[in-house]
Chains A and B, each alone.
Chain A
Amino acid sequence: MNVLTGERLFEPFMDPVDGVVCLPAETNAAGVDKQAAPAGWRFPLWLDHGLPLRDQVRSSSHAPASSRFGPYGDNITGMNWLRPDGKTVRVGERVVKSTTGYDLLRFLLESGERYGRPLDYVLRLRPLCDTSCVWHLRGERASLSRAALAVLHSSWIHWLESFDGIVDGQTSSLRAAAHCPSEEVETFEGYLAGMAEEHGLEIEASASAVFPAVGLPDFVLKTTVDRAFQTAFDLSANPGVQCVALCSNGVVLGYVADPGSILELLQPLETDLHAQGGDWRSRHGTDRIAASPESGWIATLGKEWKAAI
């Protein structure tokens, strides 16, 4: 790294004190674990443990563990970014907090690689505990919705690793996960069992479970937190559609049998979504193009960032 002169880039590193690691963007969960776990750290935001992290960030801004830790943009603190003209620039920091210039990091992470692509990520890691647990709560949809709202309004929501509504055709459930010291498992279970009883739900636990990963979604829909579960219900009423509602993020991850049906499925929702400041995107593409004045802003950035817009 050229300090104080010239272009700075991130070099690969693992900082066991701060819990940050710099790795190629193509690294998968095993690759991150290999660096992080021996030092007592982990990176929790995985949609698929086998695929490169870059594919996951490109397909969705959120993963199940975003319930506790926020979107990818809050857990990737920096990156080496390859511009279309072949030059690599550093974006962001290796420290977890910065307000130093414009936040290109989050903008580029959300831009679908319109202006280049990431070569390396700096990841914010989290303490590794000895136990992961997953609980499924099952019952009537109305009861599940009420239970979801109650959990979202309790201070437990900060401590559940993920809290998702799983909706698949006629069946639906709430899935809660915790990653914690083993002595705390009973406390989590006690809370969730009480919640299940209060709302007439059945609860099933799987201790020491592998942390939930749901695969790359075919589409991602962003709405308000109080609408996410219902939106997942509505969408999954269509044949061949399964949804995972990340309840505390207001995000619906959608899985479809036929990606060609996505436009037809989601376009009718657009007006209402946009009024709420929501949106949808798909790794299979959308038919959206920028209108003025956005097209002008994109063109300016593209020109200055040497991107072929």
Chain B
Amino acid sequence: MWQAMIPPTSAVVAALHRAAPESRVMTSPAQMAGYASDGLGYKSFRPDLVVIPSNADELAQVIGVLHMAGVPICLRGGGTSLSGGPVAAQGGAIVHTSKLRAIREISQDGLWCEVESGVNLRQLDDALQPSGLCYPPDPSSGPVCTIGGNVASNAGGAHCFRYGVTSNYVLGLEVVLLDGSTHRFGGPAGGNGPWLEDWKRLLIGSEGTLGAFTRFWLRLTPRPEKLWAFRATYPDLQSAERAIHGLVRHPAFPVAIELMDPRAVALVETSSMAVGLPKDHFLIVTEIDGPAALVDLRVESVAEVLRSAGSADVLFSDKAEDRDNLFKARKAIGGLLGQVSQDFLVQDAVIPKRALANVLQLIYDEADRAGIPAVTVMHAGDGNLHPNFLFDSRVPQELKKVEGISKRLIQRVVEVGGALSGEHGIGNDKSAYMPWVFGPESLRMQLAVPQAFNPRHQFNPMKVFQERRFAA
């Protein structure tokens, strides 16, 4: 592991106590162990210290102290990242935003809310329920992941095919830069404010490499009046792909188009989350929403798209319980993988949908050849693949095999014109592949961004681009 040259931790701790007396500072090995990894549990980077600022002002003080002390700084929310993002890859400090949990304002008329960075999605949804408004991005880790983490990785979820990802909903943000100064970019109106440029565009999805988020202004939208959920089974990948192509161009503009492969369906159906899904088939789950008068008109034509692609088993329902069961089953996959396998690695590539069967077949062939179980789910409307490779990092060679499969998968993704990540971010898991998508000039343009805000890469070093190493 690369380690930065940092001053003795005790001196840093003392400085933090002086500057931010209400904040919690931890250094014991047992406490550090809890912050050593994210959702990719097999990659572990133990920090030297963890700070939990009591509020945004103290967070700014903490950043200022760590900056002056030359300590690498990694922000962390719920720790549910699946890309190795919120971990101390170069040692140093984790700054945990768990105390920044206030929902400051909900503007019913203005359709926006102001939240602190440590608010989690379930907390926000509960608060919005009485208003009839919602915040649509819905990553599977919603009950625990934070808005700060969502903005840092530009998170998506099952319903972003129509509703869009986090960046579509951030009207403004407040950020602490490396020198401890606090700046606000945008606000309820979602424009630039007094700034000439729209700097929030560079900060959203920056994976903690430019600054520390403290609060956000988020766009809200009316909750749909009515929803219809559909499920359809397909005997093979080709007919499932036909259904996806048909749904994508349907004027009902489905909210979500999700694909689960037979292995994913079997995983759910052999668990306590079983909802009676037919096994041994590819499963498409889709949903339409809108005003009842409009959406009811569209139900039969959506079902016909699913049937005409080759499904003999199309079910649909407007009952909340049926819909909730379907999406619970879909979203349970990540947790279930953790139960059945010591470790798993999930990829997050986005591919043109014409290449779906081609790329999925590569995954199955490579995984089967290596003897590595692979379970694939997909936000199919967006072409966003989530193949999960199950392995045991304690068994020699298994991780190497999984990384080899991932490498060949990403090569294929780039060849067909895809993107490395759709919603998880690059972290330290995919940074080795970045030169495949950014040539020398594009890479220079990318690296100009931290050059402006964080030139020595003190914020979250060794993430996104491998060139980003902090030298104290």
Contact: B184 with A277, CB < 8 Å?
Answer: yes
**Segment among B24-32, B290-298, B395-403 that sits at the interface with chain A:** B290-298
| CB closest chain-B residue, reference A275 | B187
> Is A117's CB within 8 Å of the partner chain B?
no
Interface string of B108-144 (1 = CB under 8 A from A): 0111100000000000000000001000000000000
The digit string for B423-435, where 1 denotes a CB below 8 A from any CB of A, is 1111000000010
With contacts A4-B411, A101-B434, A290-B196 taken as known, whether A155 is within 8 angstroms of B289 at the C-beta atoms is yes
Binds B, one of A164-172, A179-187, A253-261: A179-187
Give the residue of A155, A226, A304 whose beta carbon is less than 8 angstroms from that of B444.
Answer: A304
Q: Which A residues are in CB contact (< 8 Å) with B165?
A: 97, 99
A175 at interface by CB-CB < 8 Å: no
Q: Is A294 at the interface (CB under 8 A from chain B)?
A: yes
Encode contact with B along A97-122: 1 for CB under 8 Å, 0 otherwise.
11111111011001100100000000
Residue of A nearest to B160 (CB): A97
Q: Check: B335 CB closer than 8 A to any chain A CB.
A: no
Closest to B177 in A: A293
* Contact of B168 with A103 in the complex, beta carbons under 8 Å: no
Instruction: Write the A203-236 contact mask toward B (1 if CB under 8 angstroms, else 0).
Output: 0000000000000000000111111000000000
With contacts A4-B414, A222-B189 known, is A89 near B441, CB below 8 A? yes
Interface segment, one of B13-21, B61-69, B449-457: B449-457
Cβ contact of B446, chosen from A20, A70, A102, A279, cutoff 8 A: A102
Contact of A304 among B186, B189, B451 (CB under 8 A): B451
Q: A180 contacts which chain B residues (CB < 8 A)? A: 251
Q: Do A159 and B291 touch across chains, with their CB atoms under 8 A apart?
A: yes
Provide the residues of chain B in CB contact with A279, threshold 8 Å. Answer: 189, 191-194
Chain A residues, Cβ within 8 Å of B411: 4
- A94 contacts the other chain (CB 8 A): yes
Q: Does B263 contact A (CB under 8 A)?
A: no
Partner of A301, one of B205, B418, B440, B448: B448
* B87 adjacent to chain A (CB < 8 Å): no
Q: Kindly state the separation between the CA atoms of A102 and B411 in the bound complex, as whole angstroms.
A: 21
The answer to whether A153 has its CB under 8 Å from any CB of chain B is yes
Residues of chain B lying within 8 A (CB to CB) of residue A106: 167, 198, 201
Alpha-carbon gap, A96 to B188, bound state (A):
26
Which of chain A's residues have a CB closer than 8 A to the CB of B153? 99
Partner of A277, one of B190, B290, B419: B190
With A and B bound together, what is the CA distance between A94 and B353 in angstroms? 11
Taken residue by residue from 168 to 192, chain B's Cβ proximity to chain A (1 for < 8 Å, 0 otherwise) reads as 1001100000000100111111111
B2: interface (CB < 8 Å): no
Q: Does the CB pair B222–A93 fall under 8 Å?
A: no
A277 touches B205 (CB 8 A): no
Closest to B196 in A: A290
Evaluate contact between B193 and A274: CB separation under 8 angstroms: yes
Question: How many residues on chain B are close to A (CB under 8 Å)?
Answer: 99
A127 touches B253 (CB 8 A): yes
**Are A74 and B202 also in contact (CB < 8 A) when A15-B352, A41-B249 are?**
no
In the complex, residue of chain B having the shortest beta-carbon distance to the beta carbon of A190: B293
Determine if A276 is an interface residue (Cβ-Cβ < 8 Å). yes
Q: Which of B191, B251, B379, B418 contacts A129 (CB 8 A)?
A: B251
User: Which B286-310 residues sit within 8 Å CB-CB of chain A?
Assistant: 289-291, 293-294, 297
Interchain CB contact under 8 A, A156 and B291: yes
**Min CB–CB distance A57 → chain B (angstroms):** 13
Q: Give the CA-CA distance A167 to B257 in the complex, in Å.
A: 40
Tell me whether B111 and A225 are in contact (CB under 8 A): yes
Bound complex: CA A181 to CA B297 (Å): 11
Q: In whole Å, how far is A67's beta carbon from the nearest beta carbon of chain B?
A: 12
**Interface check B437, CB cutoff 8 A:** yes
Contact in complex: B225, A154 (CB < 8 Å): yes
For B449, give its contact among A102, A155, A183, A184 (CB under 8 Å): A102
Measured between alpha carbons, how far is A248 from B111 in the docked complex, in Å?
9
Q: A7-B440, A103-B204, A278-B187 are in contact. Are A224 and B112 (CB under 8 A)?
A: yes
Across the interface, do A159 and B191 meet the contact criterion of CB distance under 8 Å?
no
B181: A residues at CB distance < 8 A: 293
B439–A7 contact, CB under 8 A? yes
Chain A residues with CB under 8 A of B383: 18, 95-97
Contacts of B446 in A (CB 8 A): 101-102, 104
Min C-beta distance of B141 to chain A, whole Å: 15
A184 touches B352 (CB 8 A): no
Residue of B nearest to A304 (CB): B448
Q: Which residues of B contact A153 (CB under 8 A)?
A: 111, 132, 222
Would you call A284 an interface residue if the criterion is a C-beta within 8 Å of the partner chain's C-beta atoms? no
* Closest B residue, CB atoms, query A104: B445
Q: Are B453 and A297 in contact (CB under 8 A)?
A: yes
Q: Write the nearest CB–CB distance from A163 to chain B, whole angstroms.
A: 13
Contact among A100, A149, A183 with B297 in the assembled complex (CB-CB below 8 Å): A183
Contact B222 A155 (CB under 8 A): yes
Find out whether the CB atom of A149 lies under 8 angstroms from the CB atom of B421: no
Tell me whether A24 is interfacial, beta carbon within 8 Å: no
Q: A7-B442, A277-B186 are in contact. Are A101 and B199 (CB under 8 A)?
A: no
Indicate whether A226 sits within 8 Å of B109 (C-beta atoms), given known contacts A41-B249, A127-B250, A304-B444.
yes
Q: Are A300 and B452 in contact (CB under 8 A)?
A: yes
Q: Is the CB of A99 within 8 A of B421?
A: yes
Minimal beta-carbon separation of B39 from chain A (angstroms): 15
Which of A5, A96, A298 gathers the greatest number of chain B CB atoms within 10 Å?
A96
Q: Which of chain B's residues has its CB closest to A92's CB? A: B419
Closest to A156 in B: B291
Residues of A within 8 A of B132 (CB): 153
CA distance A2 to B439 in the complex (A): 9
- Contact indicator B109/A149 (Cβ below 8 Å): yes
List of A residues within 8 angstroms of B98 by Cβ: none
CA distance A158 to B223 in the complex (A): 10
B420 lies within 8 A of chain A by Cβ: yes
Among residues 1 to 16 in chain A, which have CB atoms less than 8 Å away from a CB atom of chain B?
1-8, 15
Does B224 interact with chain A (Cβ within 8 Å)?
yes
Other-chain residue from A89, A95, A159, A250 in contact with B442 (beta carbon distance below 8 A): A89
Which residues of chain A are near B414, meaning CB under 8 Å? 3-4
Can you list 28 A-B pairs with a CB-CB distance of less than 8 A?
A: A1-B417, A2-B439, A17-B353, A19-B248, A40-B249, A95-B351, A95-B352, A97-B350, A99-B421, A99-B425, A100-B421, A101-B438, A107-B199, A107-B201, A155-B289, A155-B290, A156-B291, A158-B162, A158-B222, A226-B110, A226-B111, A273-B191, A277-B188, A278-B191, A279-B192, A297-B452, A303-B448, A305-B445
Q: A99-B426, A152-B222 are in contact. List 10 more A-B contacts (CB 8 A).
A: A4-B415, A7-B442, A19-B249, A95-B417, A99-B421, A100-B437, A104-B445, A155-B222, A222-B190, A225-B111
* Closest A-B pairs by Cβ, 7 of them: A277-B187, A304-B448, A7-B439, A278-B189, A222-B191, A98-B419, A279-B191
